[in-house]
């Protein structure tokens, strides 16, 4: 694992790391040329550039902590270099970083063209609203605890089924079914995972034909819920990541 000495702080760490991985002749460089270009793009990003960077296994990661002992406990994204996609990779990663209390812009949601196409084919449309009362009642009787973010999500996306597959950006595109009742009988699992992260998870569907569930917390963060947790990010970025095949960030296992 390579980084600038943590005592330097993040301001000095970025140029130090970039110097280490700057594209050079093949016999001189420590990593692929694309890694240096990704570090350069991420360092210019306002969100990522304010964090501490390091490289492990040819992946760039960032942390809110300067101390290396804390890096493995920070549920933040790793970025993979992809030709002609360095700015995109940095933007996706910045969107995954949790910023509690941050002010997010209000206004009409603008999906990427591919995400809008997939959602429309599944039955979504602007202003879509479905009745969530029955789902909430059944799930709360089963032991789940609803919240406003889940009701808003299901009101717009509930009952959508996306069955596409194929290559994504950092993982295969997996099918998903946004029927929250698919998690009936799993309230205890959701409660356990909720305790791990200190946020209340509510069922919003399942992933990959039932191999895992999808849960949303009260801040609009979308998670893969299994015997472990992984985070797609906060809505609406989370929907982009889910549809386009962005690898969710695996959460640290409880000690």
pLDDT in tens, 61-94: 777 766 554 444 455 555 655 544 555 556 556 6
pLDDT in tens, 20-37: 887 666 555 555 667 788
Architecture of domain 113-250: 3-Layer(aba) Sandwich (3.40)
Q: Which residues pair with 59 in a beta bridge?
A: 56
Over 140-156, what HEC string results?
A: HHCCCCCCHHHHHHHHH
Put simply, whether the predicted model's pTM sits higher than 0.75 gets the answer no
Per the prediction, the chain carries an average pLDDT of 80
DSSP-derived secondary structure letter, 174:
P
Q: How many CA atoms lie within 13 A of 93 on its CB side?
A: 32
7 pLDDT tier (thresholds 50, 70, 90): very low
- Contact between 149 and 217 under an 8 Å Cβ cutoff? The reply is yes
* CB of 249 closer than 8 Å to CB of 77: yes
pLDDT of residue 33: 63
pLDDT on residue 72: 47
DSSP H or E stretch at residue 26: none
Q: In sequence order, what are the beta bridge partners of 205?
A: 214
pLDDT at residue 193 is higher than 90: yes
- List every span in the chain annotated with CATH 3.40.1580: 113-250
Task: Report the C-alpha gap between 177 and 9 in whole angstroms.
Answer: 44
Closest CA to 184 of 148, 137, 117: 137
Residue 106 has pLDDT above 70, yes or no: no
Question: What phi and psi, each to the nearest 5 degrees, are found at residue 217?
Answer: -95, 180
Residues 5-12 have a mean pLDDT of 63
| pLDDT score recorded for residue 246 | 85
| pLDDT score, position 113 | 86
């Amino acid at each position: 694992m390579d980084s600038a000495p943590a005592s330097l702080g993040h301001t000095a760490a970025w140029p130090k790391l970039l110097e280490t991985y700057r594209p050079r002749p093949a016999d001189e460089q420590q990593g692929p040329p694309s890694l240096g270009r990704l570090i350069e793009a991420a360092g210019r990003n306002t969100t990522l550039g304010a964090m501490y960077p390091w490289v492990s296994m040819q992946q760039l990661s960032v942390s809110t902590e300067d101390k290396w002992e804390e890096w493995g406990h920070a549920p933040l994204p790793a970025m993979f270099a992809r030709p002609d996609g360095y700015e995109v990779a940095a933007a996706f990663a910045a969107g995954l970083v949790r910023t509690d209390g941050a002010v997010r812009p209000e206004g009409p949601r603008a999906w990427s063209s591919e995400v809008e196409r997939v959602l429309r084919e599944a039955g979504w449309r602007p202003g879509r609203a479905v009745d969530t009362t029955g789902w909430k009642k059944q799930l709360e009787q089963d032991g789940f605890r609803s919240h406003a973010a889940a009701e808003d999500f299901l009101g717009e996306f509930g009952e959508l089924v996306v069955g596409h597959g194929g290559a994504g950006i950092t993982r295969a595109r997996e099918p998903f079914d946004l029927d929250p009742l698919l998690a009936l009988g799993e309230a205890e699992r959701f409660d356990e995972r909720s305790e791990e992260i200190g946020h209340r998870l509510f069922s919003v569907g399942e992933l990959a034909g039932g191999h895992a569930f999808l849960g949303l917390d009260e801040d609009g963060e979308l998670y893969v819920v299994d015997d472990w947790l992984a985070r797609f990010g906060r809505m609406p970025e989370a929907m982009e990541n889910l549809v386009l095949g962005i690898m969710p960030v695996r959460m640290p296992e409880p000690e």
